[in-house]
Structure 1
Amino acid sequence: MANASPVVIVGGGPSGTAAAAMLGKYQISSIIVEEAPKIGGVIYRGPLRKTQSLPHLDDNLQRAMSALRTRYENNRSFIDLKLQTRVLGPEGKQQLLLSENGQLTTQSYNELILATGCHERSIPFPGWQLPGVMLLGGVQLQIKSGLVRPGARMALVGTGPLLPLVACQLHKAGVNVVGVYEASSFNKLAKEAVALLNKPKLTLSGLSMMGYLKKHQIPFYYGHGIVNAQGSNKLERITVAPYDEQWQADHRQSQSIEVDAIGVGYGFVARTQLAMLLGVEHKYTKVSGYIPKLDDNFLSSQDNLYVVGDSSGLLGADAAICEGQIAAIDIALKRGAVTTSVAQKEKQKVMRKHARIARFRFGFDRFSERQNGLLNLAQDDTVVCRCEQATKKQLDDAIKQGVKDLTTLKMRTRIGMGDCQGKTCSSYALDLLHQAGHKQNSKTGVIKPRFPLDPIPFTFMEETFDEQI
């Protein structure tokens, strides 16, 4: 074989593991670099400690988790798994800098697959920094990773299919779920019936969840959402209200609800910081933020660099698996490990499945499309950038004074200068710019990531220096 070096895969979630397994099918070795202690990603990682039972996880999820583990085990001889290892960024040509076992190491590659996933989209509102206010994915991660109850009396606010799923999981875990508040109207969901039929089993699963909530008298409100959160040192109550079509809250009909925790879920953003550092060309999408420009094989503008899964666009775990497999088939074809006819047949089968999933997901994307009313939740003194404590008024004032892009907004207000490098605030700030009429621009509409992606402890530097001398 012309190229016997292993394919390097960053991320051991559904897409990364599927890519490694498909490569193993063609007897091609790979290295998975995964920051967590287990493969599977946030969705399929499962408990981080042993439990007697998993009452909070539905049968479909447990089967999917088992399938991912089986896929890995069946091809384990071809996969080198590096757990609890972080990629800090590029180090020279076709080489990555890693934080591994308390030391800095490097990993070279000829083909690189990025499967870095996504992070949650933050929507500031008064009180959103109180202890007990959590993003929806974080709530789910707690109960899925070890049956940790995030609260005793909870409400869920936001939009999308994760709301009923997490509500069911919380109830099964023993949490009193006092209400679920979906921002979009039911009529808007009904219009997407044809799109949802592309995944009938998944649609039936969603209906089953809604039936479960009704059976256990957990109220589900369409066209409602968060207004604010209150409490002295921790969350004590929230205010919710009906939303209009633009998700503008009707304060005349607001109501106060006593809770000790809430889950807030208004979408996700593709995690593309590493791809940007590697020089991959990106484009802006309203649903996923900035995503790489890719061809049909998920190959980027950089030769031999593929981007798959939620880091290439938010289509969910099933689509992520397909994308990892397609990238792996393309690599196998280029390496001569499979004939063109076999590769095309295999790829077409996976792409048909991917297309059905995409049509299904696009229906939910239209249903859950963010509306400008969310931008009006934050008040003048509401902190938007947690790292630098920049407020909504500071951003509004800068935009009124002529700021038209994120780079200048960063210089004026310091948003994106903290440790998270804008993951929390940049999407919200970009929405503000768009609301003000400033069109996005690929050169100025993004806060560029800095190297290293994660802070490097001085102890790492000392140990590395000691080894070198």
Structure 2
Amino acid sequence: MAEPRIIIVGAGPSGTRAAEACVAAGLRPIVIDEGRRDGGQIYRRQPDNFTRPYGKLYGTEAGRAQALHETFDGLKGAIDYRPETLVWNIAKGHVWTASATVQEAIPFDALLLCTGATDRLMPVKGWQFAGAYSLGGAQVALKSQAVSIGHRVVFMGSGPLLYLVASQYVEAGAEVAAVLDTSPFGARLKALPDLLAMPSVLWNGVALTRTLKRAGVMVQHGVTPVEIMGDAESGAGGVRFFAGSGREETIACDAVAMGHHLRPETQLADLARCAFAFDPGTRQWLPERDGDGRSSVAGVYLAGDGAKILGARSAEASGRLAALAALGDLGLPVDKGEMTSLRSEVGQYARFARGLAKAFPWPARQAPALPDDAILCRCEGVTAGDLRAVMRETGAQEANRAKAFSRVGMGRCQGRYCGLAAAELIAAEAGVPVEQVGRLRGQAPVKPLPIAIGDGQ
């Protein structure tokens, strides 16, 4: 009998642990990753010629990052590892991939989507200026190029990543002008019972805040961003916002890193025809899965932050759990006791994630408050006023219909950055619940492909 073909998309925490489980079962999985090296975004590895210590790169997560890297290094001889390769479509039991020189359609018996997360962004007037980055982009610059995105940086948004990246910049010696958190501090107190589900992770968050305070960084809570000041020629020059007290303030800077926690990378799950359901806690649509990671499509499994944002530690557990579920479904022996333990572990992280959603709420009201001249979709240059005008003229109240008339979400990112905010604006203008607006459907290719590319078949 031929060995079943298992494909794992992603080489971050969940993908690494999934591959480890497959190798332990005597299989040689195909591990496809868009990155140049393993680790994912959270544990992104520095280039070979960089020698910064783990403590400087990953802070409180240094030990876990090093353990994951060492595990993957040990697996390389036992897996079919394909870095710098984009999975751009999933159809008819095949994964469609493209690298710099080859495109290929690979059949699978089991597909594990460990696609990770990306920044969840709320547009603000001026966010199209040079010097305005996502938190993830700022982190990539620091880890992969060892550079700061500016001489004087403001971090603005909410969620653990806001404090993590700001503290990493402080550790690297960059000047952090301020951390502007849109969530009120009191929300954390209300979320404390759920956050206590993972006390060690909670303490890591406290440690990050202490790092910032020791460095003399100004941290403000409950702020309302007004605009990133600047112009198209000079780029960002400052941030204007309302403090929690209601007073308008301005901070000079030449770079802004912004983001409101994270959102799952769900485009491939969408192309695989997985069912989605609306999650009211985070106000977004997420792919459905059972307690072991099975999607609604037979043979397709979801793990890590690509399914729901539960954090890197949960991603390791859910990646291994999904792999064991796939192995069991393929008729291979698995440890049922271990699967029960992993389910319990993931459940703890789910409770903690509920706490994070309460502590750092998505600022939904900021979207309908955007002025008409504010850019909503950066890829296509569509303003909030443009979308409002389309709604008035066409009556569009559904995300994809509004997209067809306005071009919001038609650019390179396919709505990854603007889609959630656009849905909030549509809902507010139409006077309907945001779940009624729906979600932007994924389209192949999920990212732009090179014009000239070879055929691997």
Give the TM-score of the pair, scaled to structure 2: 0.93
Counterpart of 1:451 (choices 421, 431, 444) is 444
Match of 2:219 in 1: 220
Please provide the CA RMSD for this pair: 2.1
CA positional deviation for 1:376: 4.4
Alignment of 1:309-328 (within 5 A): 309-328=304-323
Match of 1:372 in 2: 364
Q: 1:195 to 1:410 in 2, by over 3 A?
A: same
Match of 2:186 in 1: 187
CA positional deviation for 1:40: 0.9
Q: 1:419 to 1:146 in 2, by over 3 A?
A: closer
Task: Tell me if 1:362 matches 2:357.
Answer: no
CA positional deviation for 1:187: 1.5
Task: Tell me if 1:80 matches 2:73.
Answer: no
- Structure 2: how far apart are the matches of 1:440 and 1:241? 26
- Between the two proteins, the alignment pairs up a number of residues equal to 451
Match of 2:384 in 1: 392
- Structure 2: how far apart are the matches of 1:416 and 1:87? 20
One-letter amino acid of the counterpart of residue 434, structure 1: A
- Structure 2: how far apart are the matches of 1:191 and 1:90? 42
Task: Answer whether contact 1:18 1:325 (CA < 8 A) is retained.
Answer: yes
CA positional deviation for 1:262: 1.3
- Structure 1: how far apart are the matches of 2:378 and 2:59? 38
CA positional deviation for 1:453: 2.0
Q: 1:268 to 1:148 in 2, by over 3 A?
A: same
Q: Deviations over 1:242-279 (max 9, x none)?
A: 248xxxxx4xx111111111111113222111111121
One-letter amino acid of the counterpart of residue 313, structure 2: D
Q: 1:238 to 1:353 in 2, by over 3 A?
A: same
**Secondary structure at the residue paired with 2:42?**
helix
One-letter amino acid of the counterpart of residue 329, structure 2: K
Alignment of 1:120-131 (within 5 A): 120-131=119-130
Alignment of 1:67-466 (within 5 A): 67-91=67-91, 93-232=92-231, 233-243=234-244, 250=246, 253-286=247-280, 287=282, 289-339=284-334, 343-401=335-393, 402-435=395-428, 436-439=430-433, 445-460=438-453, 463-464=454-455
Give ranges in structure 2 of 5+ residues lacking alignment: none
- Structure 2: how far apart are the matches of 1:193 and 1:306? 32
CA positional deviation for 1:47: 1.0
Q: 1:60 to 1:22 in 2, by over 3 A?
A: farther
- Structure 1: how far apart are the matches of 2:267 and 2:157? 25
Q: Which moved more, 1:58-67 or 1:163-172?
A: 58-67
One-letter amino acid of the counterpart of residue 348, structure 1: T
- Structure 1: how far apart are the matches of 2:148 and 2:418? 27
Task: Answer whether contact 2:293 2:325 (CA < 8 A) is retained.
Answer: no
CA positional deviation for 1:337: 3.1
Give ranges in structure 1 of 5+ residues lacking alignment: 245-249
Q: 1:183 to 1:59 in 2, by over 3 A?
A: closer
Task: Answer whether contact 1:15 1:308 (CA < 8 A) is retained.
Answer: yes
One-letter amino acid of the counterpart of residue 68, structure 2: L
Match of 1:247 in 2: none
Task: Answer whether contact 2:95 2:105 (CA < 8 A) is retained.
Answer: yes
Q: Which moved more, 1:15-24 or 1:45-54?
A: 45-54
**Secondary structure at the residue paired with 2:154?**
strand
Q: 1:372 to 1:98 in 2, by over 3 A?
A: closer
One-letter amino acid of the counterpart of residue 198, structure 2: K
Task: Answer whether contact 2:288 2:295 (CA < 8 A) is retained.
Answer: yes
One-letter amino acid of the counterpart of residue 340, structure 2: Q
Q: Which moved more, 1:281-290 or 1:178-187?
A: 281-290
One-letter amino acid of the counterpart of residue 73, structure 1: D
Give the TM-score of the pair, scaled to structure 1: 0.90
Task: Answer whether contact 1:291 1:311 (CA < 8 A) is retained.
Answer: no
Q: Deviations over 1:317-339 (max 9, x none)?
A: 11111111111111222334325
One-letter amino acid of the counterpart of residue 260, structure 2: Y
- Structure 2: how far apart are the matches of 1:122 and 1:191? 24
- Structure 2: how far apart are the matches of 1:116 and 1:229? 31
One-letter amino acid of the counterpart of residue 362, structure 2: R
Task: Answer whether contact 2:100 2:450 (CA < 8 A) is retained.
Answer: no
Q: Deviations over 1:358-380 (max 9, x none)?
A: 11121111111223331145211
**Secondary structure at the residue paired with 1:284?**
strand
One-letter amino acid of the counterpart of residue 357, structure 1: Y
- Structure 1: how far apart are the matches of 2:2 and 2:425? 48
Match of 2:41 in 1: 42
- Structure 1: how far apart are the matches of 2:427 and 2:78? 47
- Structure 2: how far apart are the matches of 1:129 and 1:210? 29
One-letter amino acid of the counterpart of residue 457, structure 1: P
One-letter amino acid of the counterpart of residue 143, structure 1: L
- Structure 1: how far apart are the matches of 2:158 and 2:183? 7
